[in-house]
Amino acid sequence: MVAASATARVTAGVSFAARLAFDRVSHEFSPTAATLHEVSLAAEPGEVLCLLGPSGSGKTTLLRIAAGIEAQTRGSVLLNDREIAGPSVFLPPEQRSIGLVFQDFALFPHLTILDNVRFGLTALSREEARREAMISLARVGLEDYAGSYPHILSGGEQQRVALARAIAPRPAVLLMDEPFSGLDSRLKDTVRAETLEILRRSRATAIVVTHDAEEAMRMGDRIALLKDGRLVQLGTAQELYNSPATLFAAGFFSEINVFEARVEDGAVDTPLGRFDAGGLADGTSASVAFRLSAFDVSQTHGEIPARVVSRRFLGVVELLELAVPGADRLVRARVRCGALSNPNREIWLTVRKPDVLVFERTQEST
Question: Residue 82: what are its φ and ψ, rounded to 5°?
Answer: -100, 130
Tell me the site size for ligand ATP, rule CB under 6 A.
11
182 binds ligand ATP (CB under 6 A): no
Nearest to 363, CA basis, from 270, 248, 220, 262: 248
Nearer to ligand ATP, 106 or 309 (CB): 106
Nearest to 283, CA basis, from 303, 299, 268, 304: 268
- Considering only 37, 131, 211, 218, the residue that binds ligand ATP (CB under 6 A) is 211
Cα–Cα distances (Å) from 337 to 206, 244, 246, 257, 262, in that order, read 39, 28, 31, 20, 35
Count of C-beta atoms within a 10 Å radius of residue 90 = 14
Nearer to ligand ATP, 57 or 158 (CB): 57
- Shortest distance, CB of residue 112 to ligand ATP, whole angstroms? 31
- Considering only 2, 4, 55, 88, the residue that binds ligand ATP (CB under 6 A) is 55
61 binds ligand ATP (CB under 6 A): yes
Contacts of 305 (CB under 8 A, 6+ apart): 324, 325, 346, 347, 348, 349
- Considering only 49, 52, 57, 157, the residue that binds ligand ATP (CB under 6 A) is 57
Binding-residue pattern over the window 23 to 42 for ligand ATP, x denoting contact by CB under 6 A:
------x-----x-------
> Can you tell me whether residue 95 is helix, strand or coil?
helix
Q: What is the rounded CA–CA span in Å between residue 26 and residue 37?
A: 5
Interacting stretch for ligand ATP, rule CB under 6 A, among 57-65, 92-100, 108-116, 347-355? 57-65
Q: What is the rounded CA–CA span in Å between residue 158 and residue 182?
A: 11
58 binds ligand ATP (CB under 6 A): yes
Please tell me what DSSP assigns to residue 305.
E
- Considering only 21, 25, 59, 253, the residue that binds ligand ATP (CB under 6 A) is 59
- Shortest distance, CB of residue 222 to ligand ATP, whole angstroms? 18
Residues in contact with ligand ATP by the rule CB under 6 A: 29, 35, 53, 55-61, 211
